[in-house]
Structures are given as C-alpha cells and as structure tokens.
Chain A
Amino acid sequence: MAGIERRLIRLRTLVHVIAPRAGKAVPEGFRRLIAIEDVSKRYADGTVAVDRLSLQIPDRSITVLVGPSGCGKTTTLRMINRMIEPSSGTIRVDGEDVRARPVNTLRRSMGYVIQNAGLFQHRTILDNIATVPRLLGWSRQRARERAAELMERVGLDPAMARRYPYQLSGGQQQRVGVARALAADPPILLMDEPFSAVDPVVRRGLQEELLRIQGELGKAIVFVTHDMDEAITVGDRIAVLRTGGRLAQFAAPDEILSSPADPFVEEFLGSDRGIRGLSFLSTRDLELDRSRVFSVGSDLREISGRAPEGVPVLVTDADGRPLGWADPGSWDGDVEALEPHGPVFEVGRDSLRVALDRAVLSPTGQAVGVDGSGKVLGVAGQETVAAAIRSARRRRAADAPQEAPAVKAGR
C-alpha cells in the first residue's frame, strides 16, 4: 500500500473526528467513547487481575492494551463486553453504563476477534462471517451478501466462501475472524492478540490491512497484545499495563518511546527504543546531496571534475533510477562493474529509521533516497540522517504541548 494513501486515510480519519457527526445528539465528550472508570477485577480465588483502572478510549482510533503476560489485558477487554463482570467501577459506552442494556444486545454491538480466530469449524467461511447478522435477524440472503462484501474488504478470495476453516491458512483464518467481527458493522471492535499466532511476515500484512480497514471504517478499536512492536505499529494510543493490572502509562506511541513514564515501561520497551522512535520522524525534511549523483550518459571527465577524488558517486540510468556506486577515479563506464547500491528509501514516505537503516547497509555509508516512481532524489550519509534526527527531535520538543500527531510517518 502506498504510504501517501495511508496518510490520506489517516487524515480523513482525523477530519471525521473533528467534524461534528450527524444523527443522534450525544453530549460532547461522549461521542462513541468507551470510558473505563475506576474499574477493578478480583477473581474468586483472590487474584487481582485489574486494579482501579481508568481509561478513556476515543472513537475512530486504535487503543492498544499492552503489558506482560497475566497483567490483566484480556480481563480488561472482556469487561467491556461483559464476558467478565467488574468487581467494582463502571464502564460506559457513549456515556451509557454497559450494564444498562441486555447483555447479548450489547455484545452484538461489539465485534470481537481472538487469537486463532476461534472460527466455527463446522460452518463455511461465508456462514461464519454471517453469524452476527443472522443473530440480528437478517435474512440468510442479505447476511450472505454482506459476508461476501466483507470477504473482499479483508482481502480474502471470494472462492474461499464455500470452504471450511480447516482449509484455510492461519493468516486467512485470522482475516475471517476480523471479517466476522465486522459483519454487523459494530461501532466498537475488541481484539485480543488477534495476530499473535501467525508468522511475522503474515502478521505484518495483517497489521497493514487492519490499518487500511480502520482508515476506511473508523471504528473504536481496543487491541490487546503483549508485543510492543505491534503496539507501536497499530496503536494511535497505547496503554501499558503492569502486572497486577495497574496502568503504567497511557500515551501516543512516540511519546511512550521518547519519554517512558517509569523504569518498568522503559524496560518493557527494550534496549532500542531510541532507534524505534525514529519510525515517527519523517524523511520529508532530510537534506539530500545531489552533487554525487550522475546519469549513466555523463561525461566521465565531468564526473571526476565535480566529485572529489576517492569519493564514490551514484550512477543512475537515463530515467534517473539508481544503478550502483562507482569510484570516479577508476570507473571505466562499465555498468556491470558498479558496486550494488542496496535497498533505497522513499523520501517522505519512509521514516528516518528506514533512512538510517539504509545508510548503515550501504557500501558507501550513503542512503539512496528515491521518489514514488523510483527516481533518485539524492543521497544522505549517516551524519546527515543523524543531524535530521536531532533537528526533528528539537522541533518535536518545541511542539510538545500539542496533541500527538495523528499521522505516522511511513514504515
């Protein structure tokens, strides 16, 4: 998916939040919002799974609950749809206590996705997805049409409609799980480690897909994971829970990375939070060096005249696409003899983390920046990237009182 498209989607999401929504008048500040107010859960055996937790989960955003195993993430999630009743405290949706509605009506208004999908193994994919619409009294025909529509939305081949769950891969089953949760178009989506049972590549794809779907649908999503990387990737806001069900920090991903609230959060982030934080800084303002880029047709003498002796230059084809590095003193014009340029980064779309990574991987220490069509815009060395990081941090610190940005900078 093109990064620009994703940013547009996020932007649209933002506009939706700001724009007043038509329809039922809901008091300001309660617009489809899950409010967890001072909620505790003590199980019968005395285990305190959640301890006086308060969270405001806004509409049209992904709120991630993250923390070590047993810290009460599942318990918190299940208290929202009343699969588990809190011992004390209140949970409200749109300002209304969740206990005010019949429990099954409440649950049908919230999609739920779990690890391993929890599909009904005795039903076809189509009928699995159609479950909640059928429960809501839709005709079989209409429910199936809706299910087919959702299969497309989550990127499943329509040919799979008549298959049974055992005939699908783990990743495909997980997509069905998401489609099933979305079937009745619930305003709220609860996801409990939905992607943790699939391999990293598939997980990456599912996360991208979730962000795309969220961009289109704009649900209030509560997403549970114990993987901080996943939390950073999908979350608009992250609630870090510590063992015993206490809230350690609730903030936007980049804020958590740049200023963890306490040693627990810092340790949970791992040793490379500095590098990971770069994911949130754009390459848009990175200063690119064009003086070391030459088209393949250029006169060799011109090259050696402009570039200092011993400094490698990047040679591109006639269309501006990178071919490889050359030493201007010794290169004889043979394209085959160029040193491979390695992976490139897309200026504006990729983050400074990617740019730094490319610079580290590059044989010359220079990262190659290209535009959307693959044409070279310039090169940037590790020093240049480091300078850009420092200035982006300074700018961010100056903007600190502002709301966290809704737009994430690329991969």
Chain B
Amino acid sequence: MNGFFDIPSDLQHSYGGLIAVHMQEALFPVLAGLLLALPVGLLCVHYGWLYAPLLWTSTVLYAIPSIAFFVVLIDYTGLTQLTVMIPLCLYSLVVLVPAVVDGIRSVPEETNAAATAMGIGLARRYFQVQLPIAVPAIMAGLRVATASSISLVSVGALIGNQGGLGNLLTTAQLYGRPRLAVTSVVTTAVLAIVIDALLVLLRRVLTPWQPPSGRAAGRSADVAARTPEGVS
C-alpha cells in the first residue's frame, strides 16, 4: 500500500512480525521488572533505610543512556534481544519500585492494625491485604513503565536490527523511504495507546472496590507520574 507496509526483506520480518518482536522486547522487561519490584518494594517498606539508597541508585541508572548499556552488555550478551531488554528492565524498576512502595504505604494504618488484630500473619497480610490495596498505585506505575518501554525498544535498532519497529527508522534512512519512518512512529504510538487502554481495563477488573472518584484521582496521579518522563 504505497510503500507504507512493504517491509524490505533484510529486516527478516513482515509488518506483523515486527510488531510481535517489538511487543516482546517491550513487555518482557516490564514483566520481569514487576516481578522484581514486588519483593524489593516489600523489603523497602519493611526496612525503611533500604529505600533511599535504592531509589538513588536506580535514578542514576535511569540517567545512563541505553547506548552506554549496550556497549557494556554486548561483550556478554552479544547483538541479541537480551542486550536491549536488560536496560529496559532496569528502567522499569525506577518506576515500579516506588509504585509498589507507595502502594503498600497507602494501606491505611487502621487496616494494618485490624489485620494484625485478627491474627493475620505477615506473609498473608502482604498477599491478601497490602498487595490488593496497592493495585491502583502499581497499575499507575505499570502504565508509565509500559509506555516508556514501548517507545524505548526502537533504540535497539542501533545494535544490529534489534529494535523491532525501530528498525524501520534505520531502513527508511538507508533506502530513502520516509514512508517507512511514518509507519514506525505511528504503529509504535498506536501500540502504546492500545496497551495502555488494556492496562486501564485490567485495573478496573482488579479493583471493583474503588470508588469512582478514586478512579478519577488515580488518573490524575497517572498524569502526574508521567510528566518527568522523556529521558531516553
């Protein structure tokens, strides 16, 4: 269709294939980040002194451009998707650990006291009380992490076509086909929006207990969390 969707064969993927690769490279790191952030966040709540140095370290990591990570990682993981996903995972932690910590801290004092008074042990309390109540905050963090991860994957194009849809940008330059660049940018944006909408839906399903006004408050919190974004 007028050169928007016929992908040069050297990318070794169809349009759909590129989307699949892109999603994989964007979402796996966020998922891994979430699985890491849950226990780390809990530890930070439990041992308060851990949180400040951890936050500081992760902010420094966030400031390192991904290209610098690639240079270091290529020696160990080569020109693979893994080299792209490791920095993305670290970036997602910067958002997700505070989200988990804030979420657990948002559990009202009375709720914790009630749980203790009812003889609910620490582990049970984490899984059955604190984590469910932290869901809105965690989902807000997850939305930011996912959106930025989807846009950041494209950088992978720098290391041997590992950038999913981002590869189209390099190709567009190489073959002088600007329409491919448009395809890349528009598709990435659409993907980010679709995934975000799915996450909102997921949160609604997971939190039927939230008052509607609470949802509105959650949305404005999302927006607030999004503003400092844009570092790459």
Contacts and interface: CB of A to CB of B under 8 A. Distances in A.
Interface of A: 81, 83, 103-108, 110, 112, 114-124, 131-132, 135, 164-167, 180, 190
B119 interface: yes
Interface string B105-135: 0001011011111111100000001001101
Contacts of A104: 119-121
B211 interface: yes
A118 B214 CA distance: 18
Contacts of B129: 120, 122
A118 B111 contact: yes
A83 B120 contact: no
Nearest to B107: A121
Nearest to B211: A166
Given A83-B117, A121-B209, 8 more contacts: A104-B121, A114-B114, A114-B117, A118-B110, A121-B133, A122-B132, A132-B118, A166-B210
Contact of A132 (B119, B207, B211): B119
B81 to A, nearest CB: 37
A342 B113 CA distance: 48
18 contacts: A81-B117, A83-B113, A105-B119, A107-B119, A112-B117, A115-B110, A117-B114, A118-B110, A119-B114, A120-B133, A122-B133, A122-B209, A131-B120, A132-B119, A164-B208, A166-B214, A167-B211, A180-B118
Nearest to B121: A104
A166 B213 CA distance: 11
A114 B119 contact: no
B211 to A, nearest CB: 4
Contacts of A132: 118-119
B209 A135 contact: no
Interface string B203-232: 000011111001000000000000000000
Interface of B: 108, 110-111, 113-121, 129, 132-133, 135, 207-211, 214
A112 B207 contact: no
Contacts of A106: 119
A105 B133 CA distance: 25
Which among B110, B114, B135 has the highest number of chain A CB atoms within 10 Å? B114
A120 B111 contact: yes
Give 6 nearest A-B pairs by CB, closest first.
A118-B110, A118-B114, A112-B117, A107-B119, A104-B119, A164-B209
A130 B173 CA distance: 64
A108 B119 contact: yes
A40 B208 CA distance: 45
B120 A135 contact: yes
A389 B106 CA distance: 55
Contacts of A116: 108, 110
Nearest to A164: B209
B111 A121 contact: yes
Contact of A108 (B118, B209, B214): B118
A135 B118 contact: yes
B113 A131 contact: no
A107 to B, nearest CB: 4
Contacts of B120: 104, 131, 135
B132 A107 contact: no
A117 B119 contact: no
Which among B115, B120, B121, B132 has the highest number of chain A CB atoms within 10 Å? B120
Contacts of B214: 166
Contacts of A164: 208-209
Contacts of B135: 122
B157 to A, nearest CB: 43
B209 A118 contact: no
Contacts of B121: 104
A114 B129 CA distance: 17
A131 B117 CA distance: 12
Nearest to B116: A83
Contacts of B133: 120-122
A114 B110 CA distance: 7
A365 B205 CA distance: 65
Given A120-B129, A122-B207, A107 B110 contact: no
A165 B119 CA distance: 21
Contacts of A166: 209-211, 214
A131 B118 CA distance: 8
A209 to B, nearest CB: 20
A114 B132 contact: no
A103 B122 CA distance: 12
Given A81-B117, A83-B116, A107-B117, A165 B209 contact: yes
A167 B208 CA distance: 11
A135 B209 CA distance: 22
A132 B208 CA distance: 22
Nearest to B209: A164
A124 B207 CA distance: 11
